[in-house]
Structure 1
Amino acid sequence: MDTYEQQAYEDVQVWLRKLKKPSSMTQTFTKNIQSRMNNLVPKKFHHLMGQAVKQMVEGVLNGSEYLPKGDYKKAKTLREADEKLQELIPVFQKGAAAEGAGTGAGGIFLGAADFPLLLGFKMRFLFSAAQIYGLDVYDFRDRLYMLHLFQAAFSSPEKRCETADRLENWEEYISDKPRKISMAAEWDWTSFQQQYRDHIDLVKLLQLMPGFGAVIGAAANYRLLGQLGEAAKEGYRLKWLHSKE
């Protein structure tokens, strides 16, 4: 392990410890407010979001719609991979921001369309970044890893802690998992979509309001892609370092 990888290893350990931190009073307060606001959103909207997440999970585990269209080859070194990722993140952030501005301008009904579109941006980003770090996007186990990184970025403190433990012991977790793409019963998408919905920021819910939803939608999508970018960087670094052991 060279000096750069040693520093990366330490950064990954800091990230894992952050994932394992219990919820703060601020987070608990924010969650309570979000729960109340969620109750004000029409049930049809929640249904649409649940279906979008289900389709996304099925697409990740068993489909090809998120396969990268660009030429994302595995980097020769971890430093090179990190540099390529830092170039990739703002590309997807700008795309997601533009999409959020467009749908946010239309209020709750057009805003509802933003959720599946944003999910698509997020998963295409994870697939593209995965190839840079040498993951096999045709390997069912590596696709599961991507879903865990998504959950590390967008879930409750309790679920993030559970996810961190699983990422640290990944080889043990996948020891009985097939390499071949298989939908199987490997993922509880209902819990997954509940975690994701509950994590969506108050500012994201405000995107549904006519008038100023465009500005909020653009800013929220930009920030959420950045949040996923952090999880991807540290999570893929962890995978890279484990592969060298």
Structure 2
Amino acid sequence: MNRLLHKIALVTGAASGIGLATARRFAEEGATVILADRNGALLDKALAGILEISAGHRAVHFDVTQEEGWRAAVREAESAFGRLDILVNNAGFGRFRSIEETSLEEWRSTLAVNLDSVFLGTKYALPLLAKGGRGSIVNMSSIRGLVAGPNASAYCAAKAGVRLFTKVTALECAEARNGVRANSVHPGHVETPLTAPAYANPEIAEEFLRHTPLGRFAQPAEVADAIVFLASDEASYITGSEITIDGGITAQ
């Protein structure tokens, strides 16, 4: 416990799923968390739950694809706490169609939420992360950022982009000697509110599990535990790396 004591963290997509699990684990480990999401009602509910763990957390309601939202969120962190130690770019979603069925609008919106948001979050939070000299950025990618899958062209492109953007961030921060590390996390099939409808279909669930050596879906907390590690000082020499949390899928 207290692996993140006194650290200030901003987590996007924090109203549910992996983001909420991460915010909870951060609070349990002693961090003060700024929860960010565009779903205001769910965000308020998530914040109330985190405040039951400890006091001082807060929420910012904004769209991670918009520059002004990021500027305001970073201003909020600086005004309230004077610094930012951890940024978790978690917000994202998947839309699964063949290339021919994917419209340009769908392509762009998928990249905006999954990739543009990571760029914007890093761009605007980096000066504040560097202020403390021991910042950590954790970007949410996917196994689809490592290996391709059919009917997921936009999602694969976005998540692969997150992987390499993270490595560029790590190298630039190392060159600048600003103390900020950057790493990516690559989950496989995780049971969240977004994936629940698909996994409830026995045929889909069976197909996914057939290719998962551990034979089950991951829980959000299992991904959050890895994020806690990367955000903590225990990972002080880890940057430009990736952690795959997929039950063995990409080992085959």
What TM-score do the two structures reach when normalised by structure 2? 0.27
When you count helix as a share of all residues, which structure comes out higher?
1
Q: Tell me: higher relative CO, structure 1 or 2? Use CA pairs within 8 A at least 6 residues apart.
A: 1
When you count strand as a share of all residues, which structure comes out higher?
2
What TM-score do the two structures reach when normalised by structure 1? 0.28
